[in-house]
Amino acid sequence: MENTETGAGSSLHILILAAGASTRLGQPKQLVRLDGRPLLHTMASHAVAVAGHAVTVVVGAHAQELALLLKHSPASVIVNRHWQEGIGASIRYGIAALPPACDAVLIMLADQVGVSSDDLKRLVSAWKGQDSSVIASTYSGSVGVPAIFPRWCFSDLAALRGDIGAKRVLQRYSDRLTRVPMPNAAMDLDTPEQLEELRRVRQPRASGEIRLPRFDTDLTQDPDGVLSLNS
């Protein structure tokens, strides 16, 4: 695995968490096609556009299918064999796989369908290779991933267990956060109703504009602060 050098020679690696079973959706969300491409392929492409080969995708459920999907991607793929434990296990596996020279890690979720490569680049620009603070996205009145964690956070991330995600570390170091507004990160994909709505509103318009949906349903937050529709 490689690192991307940014700022004053500092190296950054991106972890994409994609190990979930998608039980509420009823099919692997990572393989759902949006805008003509499987979702995980799109998210990996966004990460590669920012970090090149310094991208690792953590898979678990449906590992064989997802590894095959990314066969020709510059991103590396590792398997979290304890994916049923929860997101904490995927973060631990990802941190353990980082190259020794890695100075910081950007953690993102595979199902944050609105996050673009430009959003990730804004996080990296805010980081600039410094290690004094954590760079966190802000949306829906809270902080969450995507976020960049300097090396001094690695032990905290490696200690996560169960379904406790990286937001726990963001809360622990709330006085050391640099906040980057990222409203695109507020919506993930969990239910068939969300998928239907996403496909409907993401049809190319005459102007070429694509918009994410506006939902009137109540929203809840998962452990990393990502909004989900109540089903």
Per the listing, tokens 């793929």 go with 77
Summarised one tens digit per residue, pLDDT across range 180-221 is 999 999 987 888 998 988 888 776 544 344 444 443 334 444
Q: What's the whole-number mean pLDDT along residues 126-136? A: 93
The pair of three-digit structure tokens given for residue 35, joined into one six-digit string: 């805008």
> What does the alpha-carbon distance between residue 126 and residue 27 come to, in Å, rounded to a whole number?
36
Q: Is residue 137 part of a domain?
A: yes
pLDDT for residue 126: 96
Q: Is residue 102 part of a domain?
A: yes
Give the residues across from 43 on adjacent strands.
Answer: none
Q: Is residue 208 part of a domain?
A: no
Q: In which domain, by residue range, is 82 found?
A: 4-185
Q: Is residue 203 part of a domain?
A: no
Total number of domains in the chain: 1
pLDDT for residue 86: 96
> What does the alpha-carbon distance between residue 49 and residue 11 come to, in Å, rounded to a whole number?
15
> What does the alpha-carbon distance between residue 74 and residue 34 come to, in Å, rounded to a whole number?
21
Per the listing, tokens 């492409």 go with 45
Q: What's the whole-number mean pLDDT along residues 220-229? A: 43
pLDDT for residue 2: 58
Q: Is residue 216 part of a domain?
A: no
Here the CATH number for the domain that contains residue 28 is: 3.90.550.10
Residue 129 banded pLDDT, cuts 50, 70, 90: confident
pLDDT at 161 over 50: yes
| Measured CA angle at 223 (ends 221, 225), to 5 deg | 50
Q: Is residue 231 part of a domain?
A: no
The pair of three-digit structure tokens given for residue 162, joined into one six-digit string: 């169960």
Distances (CA, A) of 14 to 36, 124, 194: 24, 11, 27
pLDDT for residue 219: 40
pLDDT at 41 over 60: yes
Q: Strands 177-181 and 134-139: what pairing?
A: parallel
Q: Is residue 198 part of a domain?
A: no
Q: Is residue 46 part of a domain?
A: yes
